[in-house]
Amino acid sequence: MRLPRLVQTFAIVLGVAVAGCGGDSEEADPSTASAGGDAAGGKEGAAKQLALGDGTSLKGRRGSMKVTVLKVEDPMKAPPPRGLVRETPRKGNRFVGVHVRLTNSGDQAYTDSLLNGTRLTTDPGKAGRPTVLLGGKCRSKGFGTSARIAAGATKTGCLPFQVAKKAKVSAVSLTLDSGYGPETGTWSVR
3 state DSSP class of 141: coil
DSSP line for 45-78: SPPEEEETT-EEEEEETTEEEEEEEEEEEEEEPP
- The Cα–Cα gap between 59 and 65 comes to 7
What are the structural domains, with CATH classification, of the chain?
2-79+88-188 (2.60.40.1240)
CA distances from 125 to 65, 67, 83, 142, 173 (A): 28, 24, 38, 30, 13
- What pLDDT is recorded for position 67? 93
- The Cα–Cα gap between 83 and 150 comes to 34
Residue 12 has pLDDT above 60, yes or no: no
Side-chain-facing half-sphere of 59: CA atoms under 13 Å: 8
Confidence label for 106 from pLDDT (cuts 50, 70 and 90): confident
pLDDT single digits (tens) 45-104: 556 789 899 999 998 888 889 999 999 998 888 877 777 777 788 898 888 999 999 999
- The Cα–Cα gap between 71 and 158 comes to 9
- What pLDDT is recorded for position 32? 36
- What pLDDT is recorded for position 176? 92
Of the candidates 40, 176, 50, the residue with the CA atom closest to the CA atom of residue 106: 176
The DSSP 8-state label assigned to residue 22 in this structure reads: P
Residue 147 has pLDDT above 80, yes or no: yes
Confidence label for 15 from pLDDT (cuts 50, 70 and 90): very low
- What pLDDT is recorded for position 102? 93
- The Cα–Cα gap between 7 and 4 comes to 5
> Which helix H or strand E contains 24, and what residues bound it?
none
